[in-house]
Amino acid sequence: MRTGRTGAAAKAGHDLVIEVTDWKATLEIGADPAHTRLTLDADAASLHVREGSGGMQALGEDDKTSIRQTIDDEILKGEGIAFRSTEVETDADGSRIGVRGELTLVGTSHAIAFDLVVGADGSLSASAILRQTDWGIKPYSTLFGALKVADEVEITFDAGPL
């Protein structure tokens, strides 16, 4: 997950790369494409800051731990993350899978769509841009709102060869 920053004091903050370390995804491919399903469940408490770029000073381990705690306590409120596909379409050559479904964050479900790219080695990758406010999440801010996490967050998914 990649976050950006905005606000009058944006230069003081960091763009973050956050990894979800406890998750499980299942892609069930049915004989009939209508029976193909993708599910994903992730533990919101398993989000770990891997890097922070920009900012007035380097992001230390204490900062990373504090951000992790803030995400769990104040943003995601300890609730799990879940995705359930509602429609899956595979290209004729099998290199791309179009996925539509419902993503649930902090108890709110919202429709999203993305492409799952299938590598020649069987690896899978995807990317989507989410707006936190679509799920009723108020982007984190500090310094009386002068420094905020941008509403749009990039979510990427990479799984090695299956």
Dump pLDDT digits (tens) for 67-125.
999 998 889 988 999 999 999 998 888 889 999 999 999 999 999 999 999 999 989 99
Confidence of residue 56 (pLDDT cuts 50, 70, 90): confident
Helix then strand count (H, E) for the chain reads 1, 13
d(CA 84, CA 78): 20
**Residue 52: which CATH number?**
2.40.128.110
Q: Which domain holds residue 37?
A: 2-159
Residue 36: predicted pLDDT: 87
Confidence of residue 162 (pLDDT cuts 50, 70, 90): low
pTM, entire model: 0.87
Give the 3-state secondary structure of 137-159.
CCCCEEHHHCEEECCEEEEEEEE
Q: Over 90: is that where the pLDDT of 160 sits?
A: no
Domain count, the chain: 1
Across all residues in the chain, what is the average pLDDT? Answer: 91
Tokens 């964050």, located at residue: 105
Q: Over 80: is that where the pLDDT of 126 sits?
A: yes
Residue 43: predicted pLDDT: 94
Percent of the chain with pLDDT over 90: 59
Mean pLDDT, rounded, for 2-12 = 90
Are 155 and 1 in contact, with CB atoms under 8 Å apart?
Answer: yes
